[in-house]
Structure 1
Amino acid sequence: MSQREEIIRKAFAIPQMPMPVQKVLAYIGNPEADLRQLAKIIEYDPGLTVNVLRMANSALFGGSGKVASVRDALSRLGLNRVYQLVIASGVAPMTRYEIKGYGLRPGELLEHSVAVAVAAETLARELERTAPPHTFTSGLLVNIGKTVMGSFLEVDAGPILELAHQRHIPFEQAEEEVLGINHAELGAILLERWSIPVPIVNVVRYRLRPDDCPEPDLALDLVHVGDVIAKMTGIGMGIDGMQYAPSQAVFARLDLTPYQMENVMAAILEQIAEIRDILMEQAL
């Protein structure tokens, strides 16, 4: 068995998202999903209930006035936002561990994922574009492969980083040469196994190499640049740091100016604290 096959085999042994999360996601995927029934399903799980209420009342997702019931929260947030929150709640517990292989403290990678998601949506507004519905969720999930490699599989990124420096190649290319697979591809393979929708899987798979994606995807472009911006702020930086190559084609497609980049950086520094705190409590 190759090292790549062994890594995938071990990754498949990792438990899927918690059962309450799976139930909610399965119901939301039903074309006839009803908010009243969804509220009942969420209310069976105290952690999800608290998170939905806090998110609905947050400055980032909420509006004026407070909501006190899950049903009212769902009416305010809508099915797409609830889907995003439930996905995040399912992934957050995995981030409670120190990701030693990549030099990340507990919760630090979740902070980076939140920053990517917020940056991607903020960037769309800055560019006066409409972000596809799967943009935010994709941003939240971009680091699932690194979480698995660095904590559950205890991959040591030191030799990978050394090869990247010696050969002057992007970090994910060095990962492939050392391990036979990079963390973005492993994340996409896991999400496929967990029945996450294809558009989200594609963003996770091609986030580091958007030029390899068979079809242009605005969500992918936004998340790719959102990832670059999050790294520029220093949020969730591991030992691999900036050892990645931004796509010039993506920046050209978005026609992004330095001024707009600065606006997005300022916005995410203001916005991520609240959602990070909500999700970190779920991870404890």
Structure 2
Amino acid sequence: MSRREEILARVKTVEALPSAIRQAIDLLADADADMGELARIIEYDPGLTANVLRLVNSSYFGGLRTITSLREAVVRLGAGQVFQLLIACGVVPCMRAEIKGYGLPRGMLLEHSVVTAVAARTVARELGLTAPDHTFTAALLSNIGKIVLGTFLEVDAAPILDIVTRRGLSFEEAEEAVLGVSHDEVGAALLEHWRLPESIVYVVRWRLKTEQAPRRNLALDLVHMGSALAMMTGLGVGLDGLNYRPSPEAARRLGLDTAGLETALASVIASLDEVRALFS
């Protein structure tokens, strides 16, 4: 078995999302999902219920008045935002862990992923674009492959960084040279194993290679540029640091120039305290 095959096989051993979240996601796959049934599924998990209510009452998710009923929360938010909240509640705990192979102390991967998600939505807002509903979720999950490589397999990033330096490759290209697979492909495989929507898997898979993506995709371009902005803040950056190359073509497709990038970056930085409190 090759190193690549070994890594992708290990993806299927990663613990699945909590049962209540899995059931809720399956229900939400139906466009005519019964919101009352959705609330009943979530209510079976007290911890999940508490987290959903905490998030729905936050200003970041548009809370204008206190909501104490889960049923009211899912009706007011609608299927799209409830899905985002459920994914956040499901993956945030594992993203708080230390990611040894990538030199990420406890909480740093979560911080970087949250900044990426906020930045992707900020870019859309600054450009007057309507971000697809799954943009925030895909951005939040964009680095999840590092959990598999850096924690479950304890991949050592040193040889990868050595190739980056000696051969002038991007970090994901060096990952592929050493491991046969990059963390974005591993992340997509994990989300596919968890049976998340293809639209999210697609963004995670091609986030670092927008030029090679089979089709153009607005959420993909937004998450790609959100990731670039997150790198610029320096928050949650591990050993891979700044060894990534933002796509000029993605910026062109979005109509994002240098001035717009700077404005978006300032907006992201201004909102960081609020977002940190949201996912603390």
How does the TM-score come out when normalised to structure 2?
A: 0.96
Aligned equivalents of 1:276, 1:148: Cα separation in 2? 24
Task: Compare 136-145 and 20-29 and name the one that shifted more.
Answer: 20-29
Aligned partners of 2:11 and 2:209: how far apart in 1?
A: 22
Distance apart, 1:11 and its partner CA: 2.1
Aligned length, in residue pairs: 280
CA contact (8 A) 1:95 1:109 kept: yes
Q: Which residue of 2 aligns with 1:105?
A: 105
Shift of 1:72: 1.8
Match of 1:17, SS state, is: coil
Cα distance per residue 1:30-74 (max 9 Å; x no partner): 232122221121111122111211111111112322111112222
Report if the CA contact (8 A) 1:55-1:62 is conserved: no
- Structure 1: gaps spanning 5 or more residues: none
Matched residues in 1 for 2:71 and 2:62: separation? Answer: 14
- Hey, what does 2:208 align to over in structure 1? 208
Q: CA deviation at 1:275?
A: 4.1
Identity %: 51
Q: Which runs of 4+ in 1 moved over 4 A?
A: none
Equivalent position of 1:229 in the other structure: 229
* Between 8-17 and 241-250, the greater mean CA deviation after superposition: 8-17
Task: Give CA deviations for 1:215-264 in whole Å, capped at 9, x if unaligned.
Answer: 11000000000000011001110010110111111111112122322222
Letter of the structure 2 residue corresponding to residue 77 of structure 1: L
Task: Report which stretch shifted further, 146-155 or 252-261.
Answer: 252-261
Output the CA distance in 1 between the equivalents of 2:270 and 2:50: 23
What is the SS of the residue equivalent to 2:60?
Answer: coil
Q: Which structure 2 segments of 5+ residues have no match?
A: none
Return 260-269 or 44-53, whichever deviates more.
260-269
Displacement of 1:2: 0.4
**Contact residue 110 and residue 276 of structure 1 kept, 8 A:** no
Cα distance in 1 between the residues matched to 2:67 and 2:96 = 29
Question: Which residue pairs with 1:128 in the alignment?
Answer: 128
C-alpha separation in 2, matches of 1:23 and 1:260 = 41
Corresponding residue for residue 96 of structure 2: 96
- Greater alpha carbon shift after TM alignment, 105-114 vs 222-231: 105-114
Question: 1:69-218 residue pairs with structure 2 within 5 A?
Answer: 69-218=69-218
Q: Give the C-alpha shift of residue 271 in structure 1.
A: 2.9
Instruction: Give the Cα separation in 1 of the matches to 2:234 and 2:129.
Output: 26
Residue of structure 2 in register with 1:265 after alignment:
265
Residues 64-116 of structure 1: CA deviation (Å, up to 9, x unaligned): 22111112222332211110111121111212321111110112111111111
The residue number in structure 1 matching 2:245 is 245
CA drift at 1:272? 4.0
Determine the structure 1 residue equivalent to 2:19: 19
Instruction: Give RMSD over aligned pairs.
Output: 1.4
Q: Secondary structure of 1:231's partner?
A: helix
Q: Is the 8 A contact 2:210 2:224 kept in 1?
A: yes
